[in-house]
Amino acid sequence: MRLLEYESKEALASKGVPIPLGEVARTPEEAAAITEKLGGRAVLKIQIPHGQRGKAGGIKVVSSPEEARQVASELLSKTFYSYKPESLLVEEPIKVKTEIYVGAIADRNARSMTFITTPYGGMEVEEIAAEHPESIEKRSVHPLLGMVPYIARALAKNASMNVPDKLKEIQKVVMALWEVARDYDAMMLEINPLAVTEDGRLLALDARIEVDDNALFRHKEFEKRYYAVGNPREAEAKKKGIAYVELEGNVGTMANGAGLAMATMDLVYTFGGKPANFCDVGGGASADRVAEALELVVSNPNVKVVLINTLCGITSCVDVAEGVRKVHEKGLLKVPVVVRMSGNRAEEGKSILSELGIKATEKAVEAVKHATELAK
């Protein structure tokens, strides 16, 4: 789960990391009031769990409370990367002298947190690695030992290459970053940029924290506002207990069983198609659960055809067909639907689908071939 920027900054601030002055606004009026408190000028930043907000027009500088009200109204009414922001972070404008990168990521192979610093911040760490590979310092931190001073100093020394007088302050930030990673069950976190301002302050201008989904039960403050990284449909599936992962193809897939779902995706690739998702409704899915899963699949605008592959044992083919009927009656099936149906009460299920104008086959290969051809 990716935290919003203001949530990430609050977590860092709780460990002593300095952040810019600012508050969260949920209405244009609140944005105007906060801007006035900040002296009449502010930066308005949409709060969504996605990067590159500036490129999408989601970060604006305003020069008066009235302008803040107008811009906030516009930002809160728009959609960015499929997210409609519910809040804005209103902060003081900052004049930056130097930008630094400090981050960490869970390294499964090393069974530790790998911390990374570089004196070049303000861009994606992958870009930094490509343009300045020599500038990157990496150190592994054992989860039982935690961050120790000599590792924090080595990381800070590298980060402070262009601002040596900030070495001790950056070292404190690195130590704090470890504390946040530990306390928040973070899989990934970064401060980018960690900036030195023209008036000499060290500030975390932007921050990102991704909490392990499996640890959300320990963080009730975030559990109610679950966002899948980059995708609202995955978040909705999570709430409903449906195994759904979105991909980049255009063949929407659904199956009853994780193994069958994976095999279905493999077959799509084999016959020249690209699956748009992984979706497993489970071995004993009801008609309602099938309908919920199918609605998720067809809500993806990239889907050009839906492939339903069912091999029914505990689940009845009738339940699968009734689930499809529920979605059809809502008028949500805007793309062709191809069904492979065999097993428990298959003939009855096929009869129901036939009434909807959907022909089902018992052969998986036949269904997959047809679906991939329709997608092309």
pLDDT in tens, 185-204: 999 999 999 999 999 999 99
Res 229: pLDDT = 45
Q: What is the pTM of this model?
A: 0.69
CA angle 335, 270, 342 (to 5 degrees): 65
Residue ranges, comma separated, of all CATH 3.30.1490.20 domains in the chain are 21-91
Q: Would you put residue 177 in left (φ > 0), alpha (ψ -120 to 50) or beta?
A: alpha
Q: Taking Cα atoms as reference points, which of 220, 149, 215, 157 lies closest to residue 187? A: 215
> Any catalytic annotation for residue 23?
no
Residue ranges, comma separated, of all CATH 3.40.50.261 domains in the chain are 232-375
Select the CATH number that applies to the domain covering 232-375 from these four: 3.40.50.150, 3.40.190.290, 3.40.50.261, 3.40.225.10: 3.40.50.261
Average of per-residue pLDDT across 259-266: 96
Res 207: pLDDT = 97
The C-alpha atoms of residue 348 and residue 335 are separated, in whole angstroms, by 24
Neighbouring residues of 120: CB distance < 8 A, sequence distance ≥ 6: 99, 100, 101, 128, 131, 132, 135
Per residue in 103-133, pLDDT tens? 999 998 889 999 999 999 988 888 888 888 9
Beta strands in 108-206 (DSSP E): 112-118, 137-141, 186-197, 202-204
Res 225: pLDDT = 64
**Residue 67 DSSP class:** H
Neighbouring residues of 357: CB distance < 8 A, sequence distance ≥ 6: none
Tell me if 207 sits within 8 A of 190, measured CB to CB.
yes
Q: How many CA atoms lie within 13 A of 61 on its CB side?
A: 5
> Any catalytic annotation for residue 198?
no
Strand partners, 99: 195
* pLDDT level of residue 224 (50, 70, 90 thresholds): low
* pLDDT level of residue 217 (50, 70, 90 thresholds): confident
Tell whether the model's pLDDT for residue 298 goes beyond 90: yes
Q: Taking Cα atoms as reference points, which of 174, 298, 184 lies closest to residue 244? A: 298
Q: Which of these is catalytic: 190, 210, 246, 292?
A: 190
Q: Which of these is catalytic: 6, 83, 101, 120?
A: 101
Select the CATH number that applies to the domain covering 96-223 from these four: 3.30.470.20, 3.40.50.410, 2.40.10.10, 3.60.40.10: 3.30.470.20
Q: Which amino acid is at 43?
A: V
Percent share of the chain, pLDDT over 70: 98
Res 226: pLDDT = 55
Tell me if 136 sits within 8 A of 116, measured CB to CB.
yes
CATH topology of domain 21-91: Dna Ligase; domain 1 (3.30.1490)
| Pairs from 63-69 (Cβ < 8 Å, separation ≥ 24) | 64/35, 64/40, 65/32, 65/33, 65/35, 65/36, 65/40, 66/32, 68/28, 68/31, 68/32, 68/34, 68/35, 68/42, 68/44, 69/28, 69/29, 69/31, 69/32
Res 267: pLDDT = 96
Q: Is 233 helix (H, G, I), strand (E, B) or coil?
A: helix
Peptide bond into 65 cis (omega under 30): no
Average the pLDDT over each of 74-88, 220-234, 342-356 and give the range with the smallest value. Answer: 220-234
The C-alpha atoms of residue 6 and residue 12 are separated, in whole angstroms, by 10
The C-alpha atoms of residue 11 and residue 304 are separated, in whole angstroms, by 42
Residue ranges, comma separated, of all CATH 3.30.470.20 domains in the chain are 96-223
Per residue in 156-193, pLDDT tens? 999 999 999 999 999 999 999 999 999 999 999 999 99
